[in-house]
Amino acid sequence: MPVYFVREGCEGPIKIGRAAELKRRVGQLQTGNPITLQLLGWLVAASDNTLERDLHDRYARHRLRGEWFRISQDEVLRELQRSNGFVPRRGDAFEIIGHDKDGIPEYAGVCSWADFEFYECCPFCGCFCGMQQISEYPLHSCMNCGEVLEFSGPGASDV
C-alpha cells in the first residue's frame, strides 16, 4: 500500500498517510475539506505500516493533529527522492505550453507542484529514479517503467 503526502491548498499542512487507492482516498479527504487538496507524491515500501510510522516519528515535532504535519514541500521532495518515490503525472510531460522570450519551447513537465528534469524524475511514470543513460548514444531509460527516451538536447551529456 502506498504511503502518500497530501497538501491542503498551496502552502497548507501535509497529511502523511497510506491507502490502497490513492485517488479514492484523496477524494474521501476532500469531501470533508473546503480547501482543495493536492496529492504531492507517494512512496512504495515492503512494509507500508513501518514506513508511515517512521515518517510520523521523523516529523513528530511538526505534527499539528493526527496525521497532519506542518512540513514543507521541500521536505516531501527529499523523502520522495531518497526512496525513489513517485509524483502524480499530469498528462503529457512533453506538451509544449509556451515559449520563452528567445522562442525556446517550455514543456508541461511531470507534475504541477515542481519542475523536474528528466534525469531526476521519469516523465512517463513519475518515479524519482529518473532516466539513466543506457549507452554512448543519447538514449535514456527509466529503471522503474523501462520507457526509453532519446534525448540529445543541451545538457544531455551532463547527465
Which tens digits make up the pLDDT trace of 20-78? 999 999 999 999 899 999 999 999 999 999 999 999 999 999 999 999 999 999 999 99
Which pLDDT score, from 0 to 100, does residue 152 have?
63
* Section 117-141 average pLDDT: 84
* DSSP E strand boundaries for 1-62: 3-8, 14-18, 37-43
Helices (H), 43-90: 48-58, 73-82
pTM, entire model: 0.83
Q: Which residue has the cell 510520523?
A: 56
User: Where does the pLDDT of residue 156 fall: very low under 50, low under 70, confident under 90, or very high at 90 and above?
Assistant: very low
Q: Does residue 7 have a pLDDT over 70?
A: yes
**Residues linked to residue 101 through DSSP beta bridges, in sequence order:** none
